[in-house]
Amino acid sequence: MVSIGDIGERALLSRILERMPTGREHTLLGPGDDAAILAAPDNRTVISTDTLIEGPDFRLDWSTPQQLGHKAIVVNLADIAAMGARPTGLVVALAAPADTEVAFLESLASGMADALQRQAPDIGIVGGDLATAPQLVIAVTVFGTLDGAAPVTRSGANPGDIVAIAGAMGHAAAGLDLCFGGALQAGAPALPAAQRQLIEHQLAPNPPIDAGVTARIHGATAMLDVSDGLLLDAHRLAQASGVTLDLRPARWRDETLALAAKRGCSNEEALAFELNGGEDHALLATFPATVDDAPTSLPVPFRQIGVVQQSADAPVTVDGAAAPATGWDPYAAASTGTTSR
Amino acid sequence: MVSIGDIGERALLSRILERMPTGREHTLLGPGDDAAILAAPDNRTVISTDTLIEGPDFRLDWSTPQQLGHKAIVVNLADIAAMGARPTGLVVALAAPADTEVAFLESLASGMADALQRQAPDIGIVGGDLATAPQLVIAVTVFGTLDGAAPVTRSGANPGDIVAIAGAMGHAAAGLDLCFGGALQAGAPALPAAQRQLIEHQLAPNPPIDAGVTARIHGATAMLDVSDGLLLDAHRLAQASGVTLDLRPARWRDETLALAAKRGCSNEEALAFELNGGEDHALLATFPATVDDAPTSLPVPFRQIGVVQQSADAPVTVDGAAAPATGWDPYAAASTGTTSR
């Protein structure tokens, strides 16, 4: 077993780079110089950054390096999608202990490449940074283009709009619950396929990245990606827009029943996963209720989960009852020892 | 003393944001949404990323939070300058233990703001990410524009070109040597002002960021910022360009003597700091020897330190003798316990 300390930065970089796509359409200057150059076809670049850190954000006894690489890419792509933009490229800064196996980082790079192949096959990793750290740090910054259009921010929702979602609700949270329950421990009994899928939602989610552009084209008034919990992120959208979001669980009861069946839990527990869970990186968006006096037909894969109302005391209600802004706060979680978000 | 775990992510974010400029000229959408939007006036964005990690990259018993914030900004700006570009904005991902004092991160943010005010007063921090980690992690990604011009890469040096440098040589390395010698330990004797300056070069460097655009305008054929050591980075430029760089220490002997006097060391030791030191983030560039048949006059603050020759066995020579590619390798350094680079 060869560690990255054995082969040094230059050899490691070359082993990682040969596994990663450097991009086609948008990459004007790829890795290897002091900086990369990415095309910005409409004179603007959409930018988001997100860091995954061993311990607070992931555990190496739960995630494979491929899953980690996959997740680091898609959670960043989801932020670009949430603006109604399409991704154009990424940069990746990796820091790892010097005794990390080279094969581990090669697998992580392969996981990144596979995620890009699946979710954004024309773009690549245009630059990065390699460093040492006491534990693994994956810092990704992602870029996108709006192709001349206005961004879909969090602040445009209007009373009367439809509240809709694209992507899974609560699956990643149910998967995390299975992980905490010991499902991945050595010697644990084999899991049913449905439960393995839920864990896969947590460890290597596949949010509907393309749905971001779809939402913009279909007139979405506000959007964000649900990263910290549906209720918490709904609060953020409601407060940015100055409205109240009323969620109507009866509208997605079939999904709740299906999640309960997959997880093997009560319908109430399944609904709690859906309302408090975040790491599916679903897209939460609002759409006008009518277009040209006809009722809006939501674009696939969006489905209605609520309605936008005039701002009331509570920014978010569930069937009219005030809902708390429960969800992920990294600092609060750190004090209670919670892992992941 | 209030920790970041006490106040939570949202309050911390607001305390940090109020200290940071969000940018004027280029910021189309600043912090607060899923992504930021930055202007790219010539349809291209220059991008670089660099991460500072407590332990390998800095020590909290040496650096103040202001110095850390300053350094995280300028080492990134230097990468943009090294392409011949001017900075347009940055994103910053911060991860810190939950028991970190709020005041510490406020000071770090102020250090970032001061560095921007000094080095790039029109740009701002357009987005970021807050997370927890077992030790402090500062991941910065920086953006720039070439204003329609071609980038100055590492690969354009031609035999006959002048090798030139802008910024300090060896000062940061001499300062690091003082730190390792115990100069910052509690109870250590007060240092002479000249030595305090050298330590400041290490902990909060101020490379000549504007000189990057100056070099491009004056026809620089290749450029990089000296981050890992003059000899090592000279090797990188030489190999990318397929040439040999011959450095001529007699050309900067006055600087070597001045550094020896500041540090209180021999001239030979001072030259070793200059040749092996990197963290001044000076700009190493090559320029044609003549323009319109007249000898090139190098733009301020560049001065000649060598000449470009046909590729020989050694990519870098010093007065004609092969020079090793000594300098910083994070993985090799980690195995020997070295801090900083």
ipTM: 0.92
The arithmetic mean of pLDDT across residues A277-284, rounded, is 94
Q: Which whole number is the average pLDDT over A222-249?
A: 97
Contact B45 A46 (CB under 8 A): no
Least confident of A58-62, A259-263, B161-165: A58-62
Q: Which residues pair with A96 in a beta bridge?
A: A132
pLDDT one-digit tens code per residue, B167-179: 999 999 999 999 9
Q: What pLDDT score does A340 carry?
A: 43
Mutate to test the interface with A, among B49, B83, B130, B283 (most CBs of A within 10 A): B49
Would the pLDDT of A334 be above 90? no
List CB contacts (< 8 A) between B92 and chain A: 49
Token pair listed for B5: 């775990």
pLDDT tier, B329 (very low <50, low <70, confident <90, very high otherwise) = low
* pLDDT of residue A6 exceeding 70: yes
Q: Is B49's CB within 8 Å of A146's CB?
A: no
Of A80, A132, A134, the CB nearest to B35: A80
Q: Within 13 Å, how many C-alpha atoms sit on residue A314's CB side?
A: 16
Dihedral of CA atoms B229, B231, B232, B234 in degrees, nearest 10, equals: 110
DSSP per-residue codes, B310-340: E--SSSEEETTEE----S--HHHHHHHT---
A1 pLDDT tier (thresholds 50, 70, 90): confident
Residue-wise pLDDT for B217-239, tens only, equals 999 999 999 999 999 999 999 99
* B324 at A interface, C-beta within 8 A: no
Measured between alpha carbons, how far is A304 from A310 in angstroms, rounded to an integer?
Answer: 18
Q: Rounded mean pLDDT of A274-282?
A: 94
Tokens of A94: 């990796």
Residue whose C-alpha is closest to residue A17's, from A164, A124, A119:
A124
Judge: B44–A39 Cβ closer than 8 Å, yes or no: yes
Closest CA to A305 of A328, A323, A293: A323
Cβ-defined contact of B132 to A56 (cutoff 8 Å):
yes
Residue A43 with chain B: CB contacts under 8 Å: 39-41, 43
pLDDT tops 80 at residue A257 = yes
> What is the model's pLDDT at position A56?
85
A85 CB neighbours in chain B (<8 A) are 35
Give DSSP secondary structure letters for A88-128: EEEEEEEEE-TTSBHHHHHHHHHHHHHHHHHH-TT--EEEE
- The architecture in CATH of the region B4-145 reads 2-Layer Sandwich (3.30)
Per-residue pLDDT at A338 exceeds 60 = no
Q: Does A98 touch chain B (CB under 8 A)?
A: yes
Sign of CA dihedral A154, A157, A163, A164: negative
> Alpha-carbon torsion B190, B195, B201, B203, what sign?
negative
- The confidence score (pLDDT) of residue B169 equals 97
Instruction: Determine, for residues A9 and B330 on separate chains, whether the beta-carbon distance falls below 8 Å.
Output: yes
Average pLDDT over residues A234-253: 98
* A237 at interface of B, judged by CB pairs closer than 8 A: no
Distances (CA, A) of B331 to A9, A137, B112, B272: 6, 15, 27, 22
The whole-number average pLDDT for the span A203-223 is 97
Calpha distance B243→B159 (Å, rounded): 7
Distance of alpha carbon A133 from alpha carbon A188, whole angstroms: 32
User: Are A62 and B14 a contacting pair, CB within 8 Å?
Assistant: no
Residues B36-53: pLDDT tens digits? 999 999 999 999 999 999
Question: What is the enclosing helix (H) or strand (E) of B287?
Answer: strand B283-287
Instruction: State the fold for domain B162-328.
Output: Phosphoribosyl-aminoimidazole Synthetase; Chain A, domain 2 (3.90.650)
pLDDT tops 90 at residue B341: no
Answer whether B130 touches A (CB < 8 Å).
yes
| B91: chain A residues, CB-CB within 8 Å | 47-49, 141
Q: How close, in Å, is residue A333 to chain B by CA atoms?
A: 9
Mean pLDDT over A122-145 rounds to 94
Query: Could you tell me if A51 lies within 8 Å of chain B, comparing CB atoms?
Result: yes
Identify the pLDDT of residue B326: 79
- Known binding residues of A are 34, 48-50, 57, 79, 128-129, 154, 225, 227-228, 279, 328
Mean pLDDT value across residues B322-332: 77
What are the residue boundaries of the structural domains of chain A, listed by start? Answer: 4-145, 162-328
Contact B137, A51 (CB under 8 A): yes
How far out from the chain centre does Cα B116 lie? 14
Q: pLDDT grade, residue B14 (50/70/90)?
A: confident
Question: How high is the pLDDT of residue B278?
Answer: 85
Q: Within 10 A of A310 (CB to CB), how many other CB atoms are there?
A: 10
Distance from CA of A260 to the nearest CA of B (A): 30
DSSP assignment, residue B29?
E
Nearest to A131 by CA among B109, B150, B151, B53: B53
pLDDT of residue A292: 87
Region for A340 from its dihedrals, namely left if φ exceeds 0, alpha if ψ lies in -120 to 50, beta otherwise:
left
Q: How far is A232 from chain B (nearest CA, A)?
A: 12
Q: Across the strands, what pairs with B94?
A: B130, B138
Question: Is-contact A286 A163, C-beta < 8 A?
Answer: yes
Tell me how far apart the alpha carbons of residues B133 and A131 are, in angstroms, rounded to a whole number.
Answer: 16
**Which H or E run contains A225?**
strand A222-225
Q: Is there a contact between B82 and A146 if contact means CB atoms under 8 Å apart? A: no
Contact (Cβ atoms closer than 8 angstroms) between residue A132 and residue A98: yes
Give chain B positions within 8 Å (CB) of A29. 151, 153
